[in-house]
Every structure is written in C-alpha cells, then in structure tokens.
Amino acid sequence: VNVTPDAAHFPTTMAFLKAGKHVFYEKPLALNADDAYAMVNEAEKRKLINMVNFTYRNASALQEARRIVQSGALGIMRNVTASYRQSWLVQPKWGDWKTEDSWLWRLSTAHGSKGALGDTGVHIFDFVAYGADTSFKEIAARLTTFDKAPGGKIGKYTLDANDSAMLQGDLANGAAVSIQDRSNRDPQCHGRAARRCAVRGDRHSVALGEEQHDVLRQRGADALEKLQVEVGPRVMRGIGTGIAAV
C-alpha cells in the first residue's frame, strides 16, 4: 500500500513494481499522463496489480447497472450523463473551510490541490466508465474557479484551484457523454455527496442515483426482467418501467 503524497506516487510505485510488488494507493495515479502510462506499462510488463482505490465500484446499484448494460438490453448506446455534487463550500457540516487548513489546502494548487476535477472528477469518470462498461475516447473540460475571498487568498493559501468542471466528449462505445462536477458549491446536497449517472440506449435507459447506493431506474418501450438489488439494509424491487425503494 503506497501512502506517499501525490508527487511521490510515480517514483515510489516504479520502484515497487521493479521489485516485483503489487501496488495499491489513492488517487491520483500520477501527476501527468506520461508518468501514468509508464506505471501502467511497467505493471503490465511484469503482470502485477497497479490499482487505484475507486470505492464507488462496490455500490450494488452501480454493479447492477453495469450488468444491464453488458446484457445488451439497452440496445445501441446513445448518450450518458452524470454529475457529482458536494456542498462543503456553502455549509459548515464538515467544518469551516475559511479557517481550517484541512479544507483550505484543497483550494490551493500550490498546496497540492487539483481542484474539483482532480478530487471528485476522477471518481465520476470511473462511475461513468464502469457503469456504462466502456472507456473515454475524447473529453474536453471547462474549469471554473469562483471568487471566494478578497484578493483570492486566505492567509498563505491562494484559492486558485478549480471549483467546477463541465465536461463533454465521446465514449469508446459511440455514446456522447456529458458530466457536471460541482463538487464544492451545491447547497442542495446538505453535506452529502450526490452522484448520478444515466445510460441511454436506443431501446432502454438506466438511471442511477447513488447518494445512498440505492436508486436504480430503467425506462423503455419494452419491459425488462424483474430486478432485485441489495443496497445495505434496503432492497430495490421493480419490473418494467421503474424501480423504487421499499
């Protein structure tokens, strides 16, 4: 398990791989694409695991959505939309970001932050790719940094990391993709993290809301098979055009 800071991921992981060790760590894989590809190639050459922890893959509803996509029931993939929203910049449930170093560093690139895109964007990318059983072919982003303090600074922290990312692109399965990553400024979340993803084909669509790993809906002209998805203490049941919590 590599628990070094982000900037040390590449040199330490390469040393571990060359020593024949499997490696597991938190995002990001590396600080740039060239280093990331080098790590992947080294792991593949040596038949080793080089793994980033994407915890949301364990959500049973996400796994069920992926199974439906893999079954071919949705038909030809046409469109995928997704969002990731948090609210710690607009409410104090997790602490006062204006006075606490544990939050301020997340807003400053000089202190290692990659902003919303680097913090939660990678999770929603994996949410989309895994749930839709595909990969990204091409993606473009518009990044926004909001004015949060006079002069854009609080103490030693320059608040220049991106707060919002709006992305559009194409997936390898031919579908168009649109993603909103508003991970720091959404008061509707009430302190929670809210992830959503909808996969639409030419026959059916699956929509997944993962605030509690517990919402899975499907819609289409034809009824699909009966579903039962375990979601911790709750069970999702449905048939045909909708699935609801019971």
pLDDT of residue 184: 62
Which residue is listed with tokens 């649109």? 178
Both structure tokens of 3: 């628990």
Within its chain, how far is the Cα of 118 from the centroid? 10
Q: How much is the average pLDDT of 107-120? A: 89
* Segments in 83-180 forming alpha helices (H): 101-104, 115-116, 122-131
pLDDT of residue 217: 55
pLDDT of residue 5: 83
Among 4-8, 153-157, 199-203, name the one with the lowest average pLDDT: 4-8
Tell which residue, 66, 163, 81, has the closest CA to residue 119.
163
User: For residue 155, what pLDDT band results from cuts at 50, 70 and 90?
Assistant: very high
Angle between helix 122-131 and helix 60-71 axes, rounded to 10 deg: 40
> To 5 degrees, how large is the angle CA 107–CA 113–CA 118?
110
pLDDT of residue 228: 41
- The rounded distance, in Å, linking the Cα atoms of 42 and 53 is 19
Tell which residue, 139, 222, 143, 131, has the closest CA to residue 181.
143
Give the whole-number percent of the chain exceeding pLDDT 70. 80
Q: How much is the average pLDDT of 125-154? A: 94
Among 26-40, 95-109, 220-234, name the one with the lowest average pLDDT: 220-234
Better-predicted residue by pLDDT, 69 or 243: 69
Q: How much is the average pLDDT of 183-206? A: 73
Residue 225 has pLDDT above 80, yes or no: no
pLDDT of residue 103: 85
Residue 61 has a CB neighbour count (10 Å cut-off) of 25
pLDDT of residue 167: 96
pLDDT of residue 194: 76
User: For residue 195, what pLDDT band results from cuts at 50, 70 and 90?
Assistant: confident
* Segments in the chain forming alpha helices (H): 9-18, 33-46, 60-71, 101-104, 115-116, 122-131
- The rounded distance, in Å, linking the Cα atoms of 107 and 153 is 10
Tell which residue, 118, 125, 3, 138, has the closest CA to residue 57.
125
Q: How much is the average pLDDT of 70-96? A: 86
Instruction: Please provide the size of the chain in residues.
Output: 246
Tell which residue, 89, 109, 110, has the closest CA to residue 100.
89
Residue 70 has pLDDT above 80, yes or no: yes
Q: Which of 47-51, 97-101, 118-122, 208-212 has the highest mean pLDDT?
A: 47-51
Better-predicted residue by pLDDT, 20 or 120: 20
Residue 219's DSSP bridge partners are 205
The rounded mean pLDDT for the chain is 81
Residue 239 has pLDDT above 50, yes or no: no
